[in-house]
């Protein structure tokens, strides 16, 4: 039977933080934060996919459990940025040469999270729900509601009417919509913290991948996974 050290494969895990400069006090936390972020991304992907599968089986309770853990992990992702903020002023500059073109924009898992959170605008709708938004729409339709998935103005208006009715009923699907909004909001905050952390380290200097640096990151802050859930907010009116 494996012990603690063997079960977690700590020899391999702890050998992966290989610094490439003499600035260990700066480089080590930088590496750890990004490696840990990828581990959190892995768990987020697993739970979003689990939520999509649960909704495919009309198991809203299990989907909610998986999405609540997603949100808790996202809190940890956001809180980690304090370690980047506390790098010494100008400390990131000592790492730029060894980073080359490496950039967090290359994170494959982050791209997966974006893909399985919501169908990209203009992407063709399919019968199989492979992302969280499409799975929610399918669940709403299975409950007998009108919930088209295309991007026309008429379809958006129909979805908004349905969503408003779901919110007025305040049932399990309402809780599911709010869980999706929690996920969406958390990633907006994550993008904002990422931009602020970069601004604190490099100001308006270009990014390592040849991007516009902080400007590029700030442009992504306004992205929303679920614009329909945001657009109905002015029309929500609850008493009590």
Letter string b/e over residues 129-142, b meaning 16 or more CB atoms within 10 A of that residue's CB: bebbbbbbbbbbee
Task: Provide block-wise average pLDDT over 10 residues at a time, the chain (240 residues).
Answer: 92 95 91 96 98 96 98 97 88 77 79 92 70 96 92 93 94 96 96 88 66 72 92 78
| Model pLDDT, residue 239 | 45
CA-CA distance, 202 to 209, in Å (whole number)?
Answer: 14
Cβ proximity of 228 and 134 under 8 Å: no
Q: Report how far residue 85's alpha carbon sits from residue 13's, in angstroms, rounded to the nearest whole number.
A: 25
Give the C-alpha separation, 235 to 208, whole Å. 43
Q: What is the pTM of this model?
A: 0.90
Contact 231, 160 (CB under 8 A): yes
The full set of domains in the chain, from first to last, is 25-232 (1.20.58.480)
pLDDT for position 240? 45
Which SS3 state, helix, strand or coil, does residue 51 take? helix
Measured from the Cβ of residue 145, the count of other Cβ atoms closer than 10 Å reads 17
Of residues 56, 214, 74, 77, the one with CA closest to residue 135: 56
């Amino acid at each position: 039977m494996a012990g603690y050290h063997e079960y977690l494969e700590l020899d391999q895990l702890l050998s992966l933080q290989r610094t490439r400069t003499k600035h260990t006090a700066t480089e080590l936390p930088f590496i750890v934060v990004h490696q840990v972020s990828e581990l959190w991304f892995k768990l987020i992907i697993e739970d979003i996919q689990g939520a999509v599968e649960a909704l495919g089986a009309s198991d809203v309770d299990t989907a909610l459990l998986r999405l609540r853990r997603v949100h808790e992990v996202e809190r940890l992702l956001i809180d980690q940025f304090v370690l980047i903020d506390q790098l010494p002023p100008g400390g990131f500059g000592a790492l730029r040469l060894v980073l080359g073109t490496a950039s967090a924009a290359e994170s494959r898992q982050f791209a997966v999270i974006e893909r399985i959170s919501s169908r990209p605008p203009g992407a063709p709708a399919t019968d199989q729900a492979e992302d969280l938004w499409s799975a929610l729409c399918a669940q709403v339709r299975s409950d007998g509601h009108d919930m088209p998935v295309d991007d026309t103005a008429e379809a958006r208006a129909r979805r908004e009417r349905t969503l408003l009715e779901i919110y007025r009923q305040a049932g399990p699907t309402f809780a599911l919509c709010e869980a999706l909004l929690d996920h969406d909001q958390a990633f907006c905050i994550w993008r904002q913290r990422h931009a602020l952390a970069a601004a604190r380290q490099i100001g308006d200097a270009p990014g390592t991948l040849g991007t516009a640096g902080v400007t590029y990151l700030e442009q992504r802050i306004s992205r929303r996974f679920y614009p329909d859930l945001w657009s109905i907010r002015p029309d929500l009116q609850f008493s009590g």
